[in-house]
Amino acid sequence: MKDKKDLKSSTKSEHYLLLGAGVVGIITAIIFFLMLSRGVVNAVVTSKISSQYQDKELEVLKTDLNYKSLDFIGGVIKVSDGYVITSSNVKKYRQLEDYIQARKNRTKGVSELYDGKNNYRDDVTSDKINELDKTLLKEKNQDVYQKQRNQLDTIQIWYEQTQDADKYLDKTWNGFNDDNASLSFKKISMVNTYYKLIKNKTVKKRWSEAVSKMDQYFANNKGESSRVAAVKEELATLRNSPLTQKYTPANVDIVSSLNFSGDTSDVLSQAGVTGKYVLYYDSSKNNLALMTRSGGSYVAEDGYISVSSSQVSSGKYTIKKIVNAGSSDAIITDSSNSNFGQYVSNASTSELSSLNVSSPDNSTANFNSATPVFWFKNNSALTRSIYFNDGSSLGFIYAGGTSYNNGMQISSSDLSNLMSQISSGITFYVN
């Protein structure tokens, strides 16, 4: 029989063993809890990161991002110092941050071109606009891209119309200084029209005194009522046009350069073209020109445009639209549809359904193979273009991008100039 001393020693050993087992159990539980918590936290972080994408595989961010959720993740990463959030999640978060910052930089780049709501800054140039245009293409979310692009398009329109105004005012002002009597009813109308088109404060200030002097001279020598009537007539269309729509400056009836082309006039006459204006392409010379009918002959008033590439078939077409497409603009391409070729602004499923178009979704960049509709959001090269149609086929004049059947490519500057001169309804003839 064990004595009391042995029993006491045995009891104490068992006590320590039990105590040790308890400590190990607690430590194991804590470790398990921490690992479980870490797993839960990372699962939540992974989910929150993924939720910022519209398409994770294609790395397309959502239009509206949850910045509160992003700030929370960033805070957890900072506080945990890499012990809670896995390196994989940290990498995903940093990549997401880069995408978001790039989007912010693009938006900032566009906004910095504006000088208030109705003017552009002095440092805006054609090169800067073109470079930013290329940068915007890095935005994969079409809604965000289109919003940024529309804002840039507005700046480009303002810039181009201001450059046109500057050139016209300079030419007219120099002519006026040489001979005051050269300031005709037509010219003073256009002086005031162009002056109102200027969207740069510095340029407007520079021409303020000169325009005022020409106005004063015309009022004193030609009649104020005639001048006011002319200005109102020229500005009527502009008042009703949205800023994002390409402007059309006042038409000039006086032919400034007599670049008559007898061959062109004969070709157009034989084709039955009799309109005052016609867009003419000579495939043998690779020249495109806006022709004005004067004295029975057609004149390339502003010279000829060199065409980079053309796959447009010979024949007579009609200019249907000067395109500055929104994110939901489309053209019906189903040749069996009675509305074939119709341009639909802000197209919706219900609207297309009323036009006998079913299943309108596609992601095709080539308008020749897109069916039953072609969405402009799928081809950035055509969002600024000239759309033409002959009733059985459709095509575009555009800058850059890929060559397409029934497509004509010219330089960006030539396209901008041409878009400012022509309007829908005129004939486009390809010889």
The residue-averaged pLDDT of 209-227 equals 74
Q: CATH 2.40.440.10 region(s) of the chain? A: 262-430
The residue-averaged pLDDT of 241-258 equals 42
Q: Output the pLDDT for position 360.
A: 87
Strands 343-344 and 330-332, bridge-based pairing: antiparallel
**Domain 262-430, what fold?**
L,D-transpeptidase catalytic domain-like (2.40.440)
Cα–Cα distance, 88 to 40 (Å, whole number): 15
Residue 234 pLDDT greater than 80, yes or no:
no
The residue-averaged pLDDT of 364-387 equals 92
Instruction: Establish whether the linkage from the previous residue to 242 is cis, with ω within 30° of 0.
Output: no
Instruction: Please write the tens of the pLDDT for every residue from 133-171.
Output: 889 988 888 888 888 888 888 898 889 889 888 998 999
Instruction: Please write the tens of the pLDDT for every residue from 114-143.
Output: 999 889 999 999 889 989 988 998 888 888
Of 225-234, 254-263, 291-300, which has the strongest mean pLDDT?
291-300
Residue 214 pLDDT greater than 60, yes or no:
yes
Higher pLDDT, 328 or 13: 328
Higher pLDDT, 261 or 178: 178
Determine contact, residues 290/427, Cβ cutoff 8 Å.
no
Q: Output the pLDDT for position 351.
A: 86
Cα–Cα distance, 49 to 37 (Å, whole number): 18
